[in-house]
Structure 1
Amino acid sequence: MELQQLRYVLAVAEKRNFTRAAEQCFVVQSALSHQIKALEQELGVPLFARTSRRVELTDAGAAFLPAARASLEAAERAAADAAATVGQIRGPLTIGVIPTVTAIDIPAALGEFHRAHPAVSIALRNGGSDELVTAIRAGEVDIAVLGLPDATTPHRVRFIELARERLVAVLAADHRLSGRRRLRLRDLADETFADFPAGTQGRAQSDRAFDAAELRREVTFESMSTDLILDLVKQGLAVALLPPAFVPSNPNLVQVPVSDGPTRVEYLAWSDFDPAPAAVAFLDALHSQMASNRLKSQPIPMRPSSWESDAQARTLSRR
């Protein structure tokens, strides 16, 4: 059994097509088919059921996939660990980001990191904070930027607090409240809102603030896209509560502070189990970027032996 055979099996399982799997693996279809057939003969079971029109995993194939995937990941990690001993950082790195990252300049950090470590393959994964924390714990994401309501912290992952900020009301320029210098939640309670989907942490921070004020509000429009939320506000269809850094300079939009509005805390989170060299190197790059931006920060702990428990999470900056 060879690693390349495992790669071919995973590609066919993903594409459900030998031709597209061969294209993904940059090999001719006949070579890929031959290698999979040889593996099936070695195992003594068919991994795929083939017809002229479709390819499906057999029960044996479905049982084979998890260990095959883990074997490839272990081989990649072994190569990355060996290279790291001589200062070469390589291997995959998956970074999770919420729709409203404000504390870190992700593109700038990626640019700096890629120039320093071009052998690292980087994948970005968008999602809500809960989804990304689950992915970190499952080993599917190495590092993620999260946004949570005040007094809520990530569970069962390592993390540091990056920043905290009070959300602002975002209104259309011709909205009746757009001329106010400051608002309270009760001023907005009768408005139609655009917000993140119910059940997400991006939504929870505003829901909790209204509940604490014993106010009800109507959320008519739900979206994970801040661009869409802002477009709805521009059209006068709704108002929103968003981080101030995400409100663009636009003559059709106005942001107004809300004195009792929700507070959002942004965290950097990563795996608490044997992080890969690429993940450790990226944490180092993030700290360098923040230090160069003159944030009043403490160093991000770079080695597993110095990482703190969740209860001892340290603050990089407060805004």
Structure 2
Amino acid sequence: MDLQQMRYVVAVAETGGFTRAAERCHVVQSALSHQVARLEKELGARLFERTSRRVRLTAAGEAFLPAARQALEAAERARAEVAAASGQIRGTLTVGSIPTVTAVDLPAILGDFRRRYPQVRIHLRAGASERLVGQVRDGALDAAFLGVPPGFRTQGVRDRELALGRHVAVVAPDHPLATRDRVDLGALAGELFVDFADGSAARAQSDAAFAAAGLRREVAFEVSGVELMARMVRNGLGIALLPELFAAGLHGLRGVPLTNGPVRVERLVWSRAAPSPAAAAFLALLDVDTRLPAA
């Protein structure tokens, strides 16, 4: 068993076929299939069920895949650590972020990082705050930028508060509220809202603010991204509540300040384990002390 065989198995599992896996790995399909077959013979079990229409993991394949990924990640980490010992930062940096982050200029930070460490592969993953925390905890992300209510507690990760900001009511330019200098939640209670999915941290901030004011509201449209949210507000389907600094950058919409609106805390989270050389270099750009607490 070798790392290349594991790499082929992971590629087949992720692409769903031997042809696409071979294209990803830059080898001919026959060579990839031969190596997977050799590995199956060594293990004494088939890893894939092959039909004319699809390729899928067997029970043995499902059991093998996580271990194969861990082995590949450990090998890459070992190479990165050796390179770091000689003063070179290599490997992979995977960062997660909410779409509405404003506490940092993330593109600028990642651009600076790439100029400093051109041998590091950078990946950015967008998602909801609660999901990003789990991915950092599980090791799928090196760090993540969250936007959460003030009482939100992160579990199993290290974290730092970056900024605290207020939401504004985001309305179309011809909406009756667009000319107001300031409104309270009571003035919004009769409006239809466009918001994120129920149960998400982004939605909870607004729900909590209305509940604290003793008000109910109707969320008529649930969306997964701010681009669709902005388009729906722009077309008069409803209004939205978004962080003030982020809303200021939305073309063709008006952000109306709220007297009792939601408050959002932006946080940076990273793993409790020792970071990889690439992750440590990224966190250093953010002035984060990555030394582990004394036992």
Please give the range of the TM-score, normalised by the shorter of the 2 chains: over 0.9
Separation (CA, whole Å) in 1 of partners of 2:209 and 2:67: 46
Which amino acid in structure 2 is aligned with residue 283 of structure 1? L
| Matching residue of 1:302 | 290
1:214 aligns with 2:202: no
1:147 positional shift: 0.3
Alignment-derived partner of residue 26 in structure 1: 26
CA contact (8 A) 1:181 1:256 kept: yes
Q: How does 1:1-319 map to 2 (within 5 A)?
A: 1-248=1-248, 252-285=252-285, 287=286, 299-305=287-293
CA displacement 1:176-220 (0-9 Å, x = unmatched):
122211111111111111111111100100100000000001111
Moved more, 230-239 or 155-164: 230-239
- C-alpha contact (below 8 Å) 2:143/2:269 kept by paired residues: yes
Shift of 1:2: 1.0
Identity %: 56
Question: CA distance change for structure 1 residues 5 and 211 in 2, over 3 Å: closer, same or farther?
Answer: same
Q: Sort the Cα spacing of 1:154 and 1:40 in 2 relative to 1 into closer, same or farther, 3 A.
A: same
Aligned letter for 1:54?
R
Quickly say closer, same or farther: Cα 1:206–1:250, change in 2 above 3 A: closer
SS of match in other structure, 2:177: coil
Contact 2:275 2:290 in 1 (8 A): no
SS at match of 1:125: strand
Shift of residue 64 of structure 1? 1.4
Question: 1:52 and 1:181 mapped to 2: Cα distance?
Answer: 64
* Counterpart secondary structure, 2:163: strand
Change (3 A) 1:303 1:214: same
Q: How many Å separate the matches in 2 of 1:214 and 1:75?
A: 55
TM-fit CA distance, 1:305: 4.2
Q: Aligned partner of 1:9: which letter?
A: V
Q: How many Å separate the matches in 2 of 1:131 and 1:78?
A: 28
- Return the alpha-carbon distance in structure 2 between the equivalents of residues 192 and 222 of structure 1: 11
Amino acid at match of 2:98: I
Structure 2 unaligned spans of 5+? none
What's the offset of the Cα at 1:30? Answer: 1.5
Q: Shift of the alpha carbon at 1:125?
A: 1.0
Please give the per-residue CA displacement for 1:294-319, whole angstroms capped at 9, x wherever unaligned: xxxxx421322489xxxxxxxxxxxx
Q: Is the 8 A contact 1:97 1:124 kept in 2?
A: yes
Looking at structure 1, the residues matched to 108 and 83 of structure 2 have their Cα atoms a distance apart, in angstroms, of 25
Aligned amino acid, residue 207 of structure 1: D
Give secondary structure in 2 for the equivalent of 1:167: strand
Q: Post-superposition shift, 1:248?
A: 4.4
RMSD (Å) for aligned C-alpha atoms? 1.7
Q: Write the distance in 2 (CA, Å) between the matches of 1:207 and 1:250.
A: 22
CA distance in 2, matches of 1:211, 1:68: 48
Distance in 2 (CA, whole Å) between partners of 1:139 and 1:86 is 25
Counterparts of 1:249 and 1:59, CA distance in 2:
49
The Cα shift of 1:7 comes to: 0.2
- Report the TM-score, using the length of structure 2 for normalisation: 0.95
Write the deviation string for residues 27-81 of structure 1: whole angstroms up to 9, x where unpaired. Answer: 1111111211222222222222334443232222222112111111111111111
Q: Name the amino acid aligned to 1:184.
A: D
- Per-residue CA deviations over 1:159-192 (Å, capped at 9, x if unaligned) read 1101011101111222212221111111111111
